[in-house]
Structure 1
């Protein structure tokens, strides 16, 4: 069921969104920079991260305590007020993540590392274990806090919030996001 104010892209908008990019929601000094795999066509058409109605990113963000209420994708820029941001491992939009090559992920990892070094968020949260493993060359990495750092930035891997990821329930997803939130608040208050 679409949320209030939700706009659905047309077939033509979806078709022309293929291989486009959407702007990052980013600023220096964020507490957490969330990093998706890559934008889907729905997100590309609307120029909004995690825009497909079945995506569980926005509910998990709220249920975990990162946001005071459930934000809509069109409110993504409000995350900056909470010291949160969004980017992607691979910038180009596709219908499915399996359209991306391992080389694209590795190149995306290099670009992401440069972005993190420039903006210096306290935490980088990669939303998708396979994308993290491929982009950074850690084939055995699991969900949660990683030993890997990018400069002073700590790295956390979260499950993919896509509605297609049946391995994670909404409650389980929110619990993983909540662990990151707790870790980010603990380190901020030290």
Structure 2
């Protein structure tokens, strides 16, 4: 199981869908070289330099963290079942309740739709909150998500950063 990078009352808790096989092997979130999470995080202004996955613990110093909806690693997120996403959503709600981040940013609209029974959800701020935690859906930064280029990802991340740190 890939450990969370988490602490109480973060500004943003980023939530991946599930660990990839490279993340499982290295013990670091978003470890696959083609994943655009770390470049988007930096280029959108969340971090002053682009971090490597091995530097993930330094995120806490920027008031941000990382978790996943589902703990089970897979080569592709579409290998997860709807039931796994729903169960993961329930566990995520409990985790958010315990750590109370200001924002939960789910990285993948399809996973969010399944995990939170929100079939019409779109990228961006959601009307649904988890207690006092506001929810934002971001595109999946996987290199397999060809619909979003890095500049488009950066724009979406930056919109969240402006809300979370204003």
Question: TM-score, length-normalised on structure 2?
Answer: 0.99
2:134 to 149, 154, 161: 154
Bigger Rg over Cα = 1
Equivalence map 1:1-190=2 (5 Å): 21-186=1-166
Whole-angstrom distance in 2 between the partners of 1:113 and 1:29: 15
Alpha-carbon deviations, 1:30-72, whole Å to 9, x = none?
A: 0000000000000000000000000000000000000000000
Alpha-carbon deviations, 1:59-88, whole Å to 9, x = none?
A: 000000000000000000000011100000
- 1:98 is displaced (CA, Å) by 1.6
Whole-angstrom distance in 2 between the partners of 1:157 and 1:62: 18
Q: What are the ranges of 5 or more consecutive residues in structure 2 without an aligned counterpart?
A: none
What does residue 12 of structure 1 align with?
A: none
Whole-angstrom distance in 2 between the partners of 1:127 and 1:182: 17
RMSD of aligned Cα (Å): 0.5
Runs of at least 4 residues of structure 1 off by over 2 A? none
Whole-angstrom distance in 2 between the partners of 1:98 and 1:56: 18
SS at match of 1:69: coil
SS at match of 2:83: helix
Q: Identify the structure with bigger relative contact order (alpha carbons < 8 Å, sequence gap 6+).
A: 2
- 1:145 is displaced (CA, Å) by 0.3
